[in-house]
Structure 1
Amino acid sequence: MNTTILVTGATGNFGKLTIDFLLKKGIAPANISALVRDENKAEDLAANGINIKVGDYDNYESLLNAFQGIDKLLLVSGTDLANRMSQQLNVIKAAKEAGVKHILYTSFERKNETETSPIAFLAKSHIATDHAIKTSGIKYTIFRNNLYLDVLPMFLGEKVLESGIYFPAGEGKAAYVSRTDLAEAAANVLSSEGHENKEYAMNNIENYSFQEIAEAISKITSKEIKYFSPATEEYSETLKNAGVPGEYIEMFTGFAEAIKQGEFDSDKSDLEKLLDRKPTSLNDFLKNVYAK
């Protein structure tokens, strides 16, 4: 099978991991292209024989050139939140014009798609991208990724072992997943058939609250880690006084409230099937980070 695959955001964590898994699965480097903005950051990819395509989400012509001859395109969601929607719509339009046969997108798990969602500022671009992909006429696969296990240390803070967990998520639970597992599943889908016009629930097989996270870290470190869920206003004020930038406060409080409301609590998962094994558990992840 000489399917040509292109991965966007190829020098970022997710893109890089996906390319690594494609190579491990025996996909020839000549059949893999990496879309990057800065060629200098892609020297390791080029050294592995990956085709480097220089392109910018804001530059339509560069995307059109990069997508020529590509069968499958993995659109890794962008990080420029202010411009993400228009950038990703550019990618879809260019993919259609260039004749890309199948587009795969790293979207996110959610229940509330209205403006009342505490993370509407993040959700809007994902929802618009999902819709544009589904109505583009191109075959698609949408990954509804849950929150990364990898972001937990950021929510828990650097002093979690000294002062416990201070995060306004109440008793809300989420099916946190490892970014590495998600990238491996994406590579499995990219390198096989039968995934056309599907949406996959990329959740872990268990949901966890911050109380359970505190108990797990206590067990791992043999220290008593307490969980305290303050009111959102108090939490915002505390972060503000600690000099945390406003956009981070908005993001942290938004995610905390979404977790509290059960946005990421899920009883459905396609991840185990796509990996052909159990996903990395919360406990394994925390051990890796906090076990001495």
Structure 2
Amino acid sequence: MRDETKAASLIKQGVTISVGTYDDMKSLNNAMQNIETVLLIAGTDEKNRVRQHQNVVDVARKARIQRIAYTSRALKDPSTLVNRLMEGHFQTEEYIKASGLPHTLFRNVLYMDAIQQFVGGDAVFERGIYVPAGQGRVALALRSEMGEAIANALAETGEGNITYQLTGYESYSFYDVATALTNLSGKLVTYTPAEPAAFEAQLIGRGLPDVVARRITGFITDIANGQEDSISPDLEKLLGRKPTALKIGLTVLYNL
């Protein structure tokens, strides 16, 4: 944890907490003593994230951990990505593989939870959906279920190097999202495909920082280009049940 006060509930449950950051090699080393498995959660510092990830891998190798796991992304073609932030995931994957450590890679699809941010929260019921996703589809899945699946995988004894593609069991377009929200709310929600530049300008107009607006636009443009339209049974296998479908997930996320 960077801030121990935010882990108060975990400490009460008997969880051992280490304080530090991916930039603090000493804290990483202290955290990895007598540890078998390290789960590296991707950082969000665009300029430094790959170096930070490498710090974690280097310390894990020095500490002789038995397995390192990483939360990557389920994308079809890294060479054609619009959202360049995603390149760091594949650079990190290669660094992990080169380290010689036994590893587990979790390639996660876009969180269903991100839909609200992309379409403007509850405002979607007044103005509809206006995003640059075209006809693109994505096998959305809830973040909580991905976390559960990852925990299940890491609780098992790992043998060899494994890559999981964590996706929903069905892919959806934003037309599907609009239809689901219409049916759930009783209000007509329409989807109008947008041009990327106009969409990014709209996000900035809502008060989002330029870097965040650019990142969201890149995410959605990659959906339009088919980057997220792949389906794998891995999430279902690790959960032991089918992942939550779009309509049920939106019911939870929008409290409908």
Indicate whether the TM-score tops 0.5.
Answer: yes
Q: Residues 253-283 of structure 1, C-alpha deviation per residue, up to 9 Å, x if partnerless?
A: 1011100001000132311111111011111
Q: Residues 136-182 of structure 1, C-alpha deviation per residue, up to 9 Å, x if partnerless?
A: 11111100000001111000103101111111101100001111111
- The total of aligned residue pairs comes to 255
Q: Which of 117, 137, 143 lines up with 2:100 in the alignment?
A: 137
What does residue 40 of structure 1 align with?
5
C-alpha contact (below 8 Å) 1:217/1:290 kept by paired residues: no
Q: Give the partner amino acid of 2:74.
A: E
What does residue 111 of structure 1 align with?
76
What does residue 71 of structure 1 align with?
36
User: Does 1:52 find its partner at 2:33?
Assistant: no
Task: Quote how far apart the aligned CAs of 1:194 are.
Answer: 4.3
Structure 2 CA distance for aligned equivalents of residues 285 and 199 of structure 1: 26
The alignment's C-alpha RMSD in Å is 1.3
User: Does 1:253 find its partner at 2:253?
Assistant: no
C-alpha contact (below 8 Å) 2:82/2:219 kept by paired residues: yes
State percent identity of aligned pairs. 40
What does residue 199 of structure 1 align with?
163
User: Does 1:180 find its partner at 2:153?
Assistant: no
For structure 1, the 5+ residue unaligned runs are 1-35
What does residue 162 of structure 1 align with?
126
Structure 2 CA distance for aligned equivalents of residues 103 and 175 of structure 1: 26
Task: Quote how far apart the aligned CAs of 1:291 are.
Answer: 5.0
User: RCO greater where, 1 or 2, for CA within 8 Å and sep 6 or more?
Assistant: 2
What does residue 240 of structure 1 align with?
204
Does the residue aligned with 1:54 lie in a helix, a strand or coil?
coil
Q: Which of 45, 48, 57 lines up with 1:80 in the alignment?
A: 45
Give me the TM-score of the superposition, normalised by structure 2.
0.95
The verdict on how the C-alpha distance between 1:196 and 1:178 changes in structure 2, with shifts beyond 3 A counting, is farther
Structure 1 CA distance for aligned equivalents of residues 159 and 146 of structure 2: 15
User: Does 1:280 find its partner at 2:244?
Assistant: yes
For structure 2, the 5+ residue unaligned runs are none
Structure 2 CA distance for aligned equivalents of residues 195 and 217 of structure 1: 43
